[in-house]
Structure 1
């Protein structure tokens, strides 16, 4: 029986639809870059970014993109992040209606715009990041990005005054303290203090 090559072992390790970092293969071979190049050339892997690869998954509708959380977790090498689109601000009921074709990754490591495979992301680095989305975090992040939104800022603030009772006071203050920019703090904190009585 023919002995398995390092390339054979790397192929057996692959699972369709999964994302890999270069470091996932370093213990399998002493020629990791050469073998990764060979796997890309034969279509067993697709290069998404430097050091980031996808084992393609075929579907009746074409090639499937990987799970977004897995993709970003592998890229950042960290699971403390949240990803959202600014259109999600519309769910807060503050009068926003714009639709945005944009994905924002609030994280601890990367900043700037980057393309991973066929997806474009806007990475926003902060000293810490939540592990899940909440409407309180979305509100704070909306105020972080308020100047970038094509909305009537005065209307947003006016609507918020009538909606504060729908937010958890402790969670909102916590999100503002941990994730709010100076600008968001300046806009939101006086509003919260003035309307403390409306919180449940």
Structure 2
């Protein structure tokens, strides 16, 4: 068995590997990687990153966004989201964006992985999961970058906020809101609090 074949034995379909993940299995990792790429065994998807394609009856399944990001960051503490997630809030955003946003602790800037653009946003605070409360705050944080009628969206956001769990929303505003977002949503939280006292 050739050394390149031995390297191939270590690979699992559907996984993304960094060059340094594979150095223990090869005495000439660059040559072997180049050979496996030429043979179509591996896809080179970014500088120093390779995908071992998973096959289905319909052909090759591209790597999942989560797998790409985890391998790129060498970290699983990140939140992968997109402006499309706002549409679930039903506040008037309907556009579809080809944009992936990655909140993480390490990297900042735009990166191309496997032909897709990922916007890495380095921030100390983000939730493990994009809750409706987080998405609402995130939407207001990025209101200026949306293609929709912002005033209409904002009016709907205020209405939506009032129907949410006030404690969860308050936490999301405090933890993740930009200064402008806090200014916009704090009066709503105050109103919700005084309503709660009336009941």
Range of TM-score over shorter length? 0.7 to 0.9
1:192 aligns with: 189
- Asked if 2 retains the 8 angstrom alpha-carbon contact of 1:22 and 1:52, the reply is yes
- Asked if 2 retains the 8 angstrom alpha-carbon contact of 1:106 and 1:124, the reply is yes
2:121 aligns with: 124
Distance in 2 separating the partners of 1:198 and 1:152? 30
Q: Unaligned 5+ residue runs, structure 1?
A: none
Distance in 1 separating the partners of 2:104 and 2:122? 5
> TM-score, normalization: structure 1?
0.86
Q: 1:100 aligns with which of 94, 97, 102?
A: 97
1:36/1:126 CA distance change after superposition, 3 Å? same
1:25 aligns with: 22
Offset of residue 46 of structure 1: 0.8
Matches within 5 A, 1:58-77: 58-77=55-74
1:125-158: CA deviations, max 9, x gaps?
Answer: 2123322111111111101110001223322232
- Asked if 2 retains the 8 angstrom alpha-carbon contact of 1:45 and 1:54, the reply is yes
2:87 aligns with: 90
Q: Unaligned 5+ residue runs, structure 2?
A: none
Secondary structure in 1 aligned to 2:79?
strand
Matches within 5 A, 1:1-200: 4-197=1-194
Number of aligned residues: 197
> TM-score, normalization: structure 2?
0.87
Distance in 1 separating the partners of 2:70 and 2:88? 26
1:58-99: CA deviations, max 9, x gaps?
Answer: 334332111221221111111122222212212112222222
What's the RMSD between the two structures over aligned residues?
Answer: 2.2
Distance in 1 separating the partners of 2:43 and 2:127? 30
1:95-120: CA deviations, max 9, x gaps?
Answer: 22222222222222222222211322
- Asked if 2 retains the 8 angstrom alpha-carbon contact of 1:79 and 1:131, the reply is no
- Asked if 1 retains the 8 angstrom alpha-carbon contact of 2:104 and 2:122, the reply is yes
